[in-house]
Amino acid sequence: MTPTDTDTEDSDMRDLLEVLSRMPNSLGRLRKTALHPSGVRLPACPRRFLYSTRLGWRKADWREALSAGNILHRAMAVYYTGQPPATSVEQACKEAKLELAEEQALWAQEHPEDPFMDTRKREKAIGLGGMMGRVLMEAFPLPDTCDVVAIEQTLKSPDSWKAFCPVPIIGTVDAVLYDRTKEQYWLVDHKSTSDKPAQRAANLTFDVQAQLYRALWNSVHPERRVSGVIHNIIGKPGIRVKKGEKFEDYLDRCFEWYDKQALADPHEPPVQQSYVSFISPVLDKNDELQGLMSEVGRWHKRAVSLDSYPRVGQSFQACNELGGHVCPFMPLCLRQPSAWAEVLTKYHFNKADDDV
């Protein structure tokens, strides 16, 4: 693979907007700008920021991890409405099956030659997500002393934030609890991870996402300011549901695995609950979070050109190391913008929904 020549990029830069304007299916249209709390970080690669955030291009492939995580969140949301664990998981899995079947039918219609989104993978992801939900519910049932005051509530930053961040921030909190004994409100955040939960828990005090959710919640509900965040973290086992296996049998195998892991290493349990109290004020003028939002907001406002969003490196070494995977946008970086429409189709990219 040969990287695109820099001189050629300079000349392409002038034509980039024109090239984008000719792209099919609104692929070349800039996204309406909104930030999700997970996106409030400086981009590892400016060019990637252009592709994924400004233009909203994403690879339309099967992402098991994301789907299992979504099902876990959905199950927890049903559970927080007061349903028993088994019902919550069953309902979440049933809804996910219907939605994914629809997605699969749509995919088959648009890409008849490419049936990679197969049913087995789908079943494994649903089983994994449902199982993790059930394990979390058993490990950390809702305390009797707590009332659920919000479940999956979407929050948008107030206009006053525009003074330091030019784009709105929109995020959905997993849940908020009111602890009657302490008279405190707490955010709840469910996480699944392929790492050890203890590693994820180690740096949660400095978790930007949690701080942002806190700031969003407090600005929308100043009368119910939150005292901290409860992180429910579950590690993913390598175990997947076998062909024809009943969900309850799969669950038993996984419970056994979680028990063994917890006994083998009590300091690094595979399921962990971590309470992080918010002790500092947030969003004052010297606040680091405010500085970060301003910086990321500025990236959203840059002129759309290859110059404004340079590639992270010329050798593509860094591109192989981002998150331990090859960057999915590499085919675009290897070609002239004039060939991008073709590349996007060939590699099954589509457009993320606008969320403003």
Least CB distance to ligand SF4 at residue 9 (A): 11
Q: Which is nearer to ligand SF4, 48 or 200 (CB)?
A: 48
Number of residues lying near ligand SF4 (CB under 6 A): 12
Least CB distance to ligand SF4 at residue 309 (A): 9
Q: Which is nearer to ligand SF4, 217 or 299 (CB)?
A: 299
| Of the candidate residues 140, 311, 337, 344, the single one contacting ligand SF4 (CB under 6 A) | 311
Least CB distance to ligand SF4 at residue 353 (A): 21
CA 287 from centre of chain: 25
Least CB distance to ligand SF4 at residue 331 (A): 8
Q: Is 16 exposed, middle or buried (0-12, 13-18, 19+ CB in 10 A)?
A: buried
Least CB distance to ligand SF4 at residue 31 (A): 17
| Of the candidate residues 132, 312, 341, 344, the single one contacting ligand SF4 (CB under 6 A) | 312
What is the footprint of ligand SF4 within residues 30-69 (CB under 6 A)?
A: 45, 47-48
Element at 11 (helix H, strand E) = helix 6-21
Q: Which is nearer to ligand SF4, 17 or 322 (CB)?
A: 322
DSSP per residue over 160-215, as a string?
GGGGT-SS-BEEEEEEEEEETTTTEEEEEEEEEESS-HHHHHHTGGG-HHHHHHHH
- Say if residues 354 and 56 touch (Cβ distance below 8 Å): yes
The CA–CA distances, whole Å, from 4 to 49, 176, 334 equal 18, 49, 5
Query: How many residues make up the chain in this entry?
Result: 356
204 near ligand SF4 (CB under 6 A): no
- Helix, strand or coil, per DSSP, at residue 57: strand
Angle, CA 38 vertex, CA 37 and CA 39 arms, to 5°: 90
Angle, CA 311 vertex, CA 305 and CA 313 arms, to 5°: 160
Interface segment toward ligand SF4; rule CB under 6 A; list 99-107, 257-265, 294-302, 311-319 = 311-319
User: Binding marks (x or -) toward ligand SF4, 314..333, rule CB under 6 A?
Assistant: --x--x--x----x-xx--x
Kindly list the residues in this chain that would bind ligand SF4 in the complex (CB under 6 A). Answer: 45, 47-48, 311-312, 316, 319, 322, 327, 329-330, 333
